[in-house]
A and B are shown apart, each in its own frame.
Chain A
Amino acid sequence: MNPIELLIQYWPNYLEGLWVTVQLAGVGAILAAFLAPMLAIVRLNGHPVFSIPVRIYVSFIRGTPMLAQLFLIYYGSGQFRPFLQEWGLWSFFREPYNCAMLTFVISSTAYQIEILRGGLMGVPAGEVEAAKAVGMSPVSLYRRVIFPHAYRIAWPALGNEVILLIKASALASVVTIFDLLGETRLIFSKTFDLSAYLWAALLYLALTAVLVWGWRRAEILLSPQFFKSGRT
């Protein structure tokens, strides 16, 4: 079978796998994006009672392989089945899809906390003072001045993190999930044709290319002062 024939025959399977990959990485990154800002503030400005646990969590996640984390949650939850059943959580943990999603959220949150911490530290101190000087409440201060700067600074690094997460989501195939790589492995096992992996690589490449393009558009929206013609 030549590569084109393989694609013609298996493209629905590829698309299904691609969709699962988009869901796992996309929802994972978005959930992490909701959790990270608050935790980054705690990590930076919180009382040690709160900031130290966040530091430990970030160090643990960054210091261990994601595959190990996935196994810990997927196989580990089986060990605690009686407890989880008692707590009504077993129906969540028995699904490999949920375990993978949880792993990605936990992992990406840790990285995003660290990236945002850098962004928060880079916010110009004078602009924060100016906001305080007009009497802004802390909430407005974060919403109107601190986070717009922090995200602009952190944006390229956050994009990097999402790309890494897309690729890391291939680990889900190890725990029986038919994401893009999972489907590919299935196709390969039927055809023994290496071009199965070539198409998978191209699809990952296309996915990240779309993301990079969109990320760049968003960066321009986020930083009007650098892109809008206003300079004389």
Chain B
Amino acid sequence: MKEQEAVVIAEGIRKSFGAVEVLKGIDLTAHAHDVISILGSSGSGKSTFLRCLNALEVPSAGRIHVHGEEVLFKDGRPADRKAVERLRQRLGMVFQQFNLWTHRSVIENVMEGPIHVLGKGKKEAREQAEHILNRVGLSERMDMYPSALSGGQQQRVAIARALAMEPDAILFDEPTSALDPELVGEVLKVMNELASEGRTMIIVTHEMAFARDVSTDVIFLHQGEIAERGAPEKMFSNPDTEVFANFISDFN
């Protein structure tokens, strides 16, 4: 029954860089309202896997299905490039380094996708952008350029930019790792709000408390494979595998 509400399905995702296989066939299903945290030590392939979901990293093999849009990957190429674009429109992405368009103002960053990808009118896009920026607490900064903002503010703009596309799910690639410690909180707070309003989110993170308290599922990657997956309460209190037990003990 649950299968019908699946928003994102990834099957058999493999990725090799030259002779090195960094992802060895990973499956993931995100249902509506799921908040999935992907954990793993450096080099485990967690960021690569997340970037495979919207084909920023093109999988060597596998199948990705997002809300009716399906793309097959074979021999390191997507079967249909246009389908990749449609897939990306349905998945928001928030980067570690924010990656705002520095030549556009804050509100232009948020309006860009709706206007130039979804074909919305300028007026409608502006109203929507104002609304979203208001929600992430940046209504005062709308006409500034990204370089004038703090890291935390930039990341909130990046989240607003993702939301403006009205995505089926949002991918977060270590969204707080590039922030000064005192700015982490404001970004996590926004992410928390998104989770509690039922957004489907897939998050690569090092914020153990966030993963434990906010996510509905946790996936632990180790050497390109899923070593352990399950509900956070269970995994953090009583891990099944030694690798995950060691991993979380490093954070305590």
Contacts and interface: CB of A to CB of B under 8 A. Distances in A.
B165 interface: yes
Interface residues of A, number: 25
Contact of B97 (A126, A133, A134): A126
Nearest to A125: B99
Contact of A124 (B85, B90, B102, B161): B102
A141 to B, nearest CB: 10
Contact of B143 (A124, A137, A230): A230
Interface in A113-172: 124, 126-127, 129-137, 140, 144-145, 148-149, 152
Contacts of B146: 225
B113 A134 contact: yes
Contact of A127 (B87, B93, B101): B101
B102 A130 contact: no
B103 A136 contact: no
Nearest to A228: B145
Given A135-B86, A228-B145, A130 B93 contact: yes
A137 B119 CA distance: 12
Given A144-B112, A232-B144, A130 B95 contact: yes
Interface residues of B, number: 33
Contacts of A144: 112, 116
User: Which of A133, A137, A225, A230: most chain B CB closer than 10 A?
Assistant: A133
A130 B143 CA distance: 20
A231 interface: yes
Nearest to B81: A138
Nearest to A124: B102
Interface of A: 124, 126-127, 129-137, 140, 144-145, 148-149, 152, 223-225, 228, 230-232
Given A124-B102, A134-B89, A230-B143, 5 more contacts: A145-B101, A148-B103, A225-B102, A225-B146, A230-B144
The 5 residue pairs across chains A and B that have the minimum distance between CB atoms = A135-B89, A126-B99, A135-B88, A133-B93, A134-B113
